[in-house]
Chain A
Amino acid sequence: MADFQTSTHRQHWILSRQDLAQKYQIANQRAIQMLLKYGATRVEVQQDGSLVYPGTPLETERNGTERHTSLPEPLTIDEEFLIRRYYELKIQQVCAAFAFPNKIQATAVLFFKRFYLQWSVMEHDPKHIMLTCIYLSCKVEEFHVSAEELGKGIQQDPQVVLKNELTVLQGLHFDLIVYAPYRSLDGFLFDMENFVQGTNNSSTQKLQEAAKFVVDTVILTDCPLLFTPGQLALAALRKANLEERAVDFERYLQSLCDRHPKHTFKELTLTFDAIDTTVDVSRQPKEADLMPIDRKLKYCRNPGLQDESKKRERKVKHKSKRVSQDTSMTTTVDASPMV
Chain B
Amino acid sequence: MNKEVSIRRQIASLHPAHVGAGLRILGFTESSSEWKLHEYNKREDDFPSLRAYNDYLEEVEDIIINLVEGVDVQATKDKVAKYQEENAEQIVASRARKAEEQAAALRQENGFPEIKVSNGEQVALQAAPSGQYAPALLPGGLYMQPRPAGSGPQPVPVGGPFNNDSVPEDEEARRVRIERAARAGGWTADIVRKRALQEALGSLWVN
Contacts and interface: CB of A to CB of B under 8 A. Distances in A.
A191 interface: yes
A240 to B, nearest CB: 15
Contacts of B201: 187, 191, 230, 260
A262 interface: yes
Interface in A129-177: none
B202 interface: yes
A190 B204 contact: no
B200 to A, nearest CB: 3
Nearest to A5: B202
Contacts, number: 64
Contact of A230 (B192, B193, B195, B205): B205
Contacts of B198: 187
Contacts of B206: 10, 14, 228
Nearest to A182: B196
A326 interface: no
A186 B204 contact: no
A230 B204 contact: yes
Contacts of A299: none
Interface in B167-207: 192-193, 195-206
Contacts of A215: none
A188 B198 CA distance: 10
Could you tell me the dominant secondary structure of chain A's interface residues? helix
Nearest to A186: B196
Find the residue from A4, A233, A262 having the highest chain B CB count within 10 A: A4
B197 A230 contact: no
Find the residue from B192, B198, B201, B203 having the highest chain A CB count within 10 A: B203
Give the interface size bracket for A toward B. Answer: 20 to 34
A214 interface: no
Contact of A1 (B193, B195, B197, B203): B195
B200 A191 contact: yes
B200 A188 contact: yes
Contacts of B200: 183-188, 191, 230, 233
Contact of B204 (A3, A183, A234): A234
B204 A228 contact: yes
A254 B193 CA distance: 22
A1 B199 CA distance: 10
Contact of B203 (A191, A229, A260, A268): A229
Nearest to B197: A187
Nearest to B202: A4
A187 B196 contact: yes
B202 A3 contact: yes
A179 B196 contact: no
Contacts of A1: 195
B201 to A, nearest CB: 7
A183 B191 CA distance: 13
A198 to B, nearest CB: 20
Contact of A184 (B193, B196, B205): B196
A82 to B, nearest CB: 28
Contacts of A260: 201, 204
A8 to B, nearest CB: 13
Contacts of A268: 204
B80 to A, nearest CB: 23
A5 B202 CA distance: 7
A262 B196 contact: no
B178 to A, nearest CB: 16
Nearest to A234: B204
A228 B197 CA distance: 15
13 contacts: A1-B195, A179-B203, A184-B199, A184-B203, A186-B196, A187-B193, A188-B200, A190-B196, A228-B206, A230-B199, A230-B201, A260-B201, A268-B204
Interface of A: 1-5, 10, 14, 179, 183-188, 190-191, 228-231, 233-234, 260, 262-263, 268
Given A3-B202, A4-B203, A185-B200, 10 more contacts: A5-B202, A5-B203, A10-B206, A179-B203, A184-B199, A187-B193, A191-B201, A228-B205, A230-B199, A262-B205
A-B pairs with lowest CB-CB distance, top 10: A187-B200, A187-B196, A230-B204, A230-B203, A4-B203, A184-B200, A186-B196, A187-B197, A229-B203, A228-B203
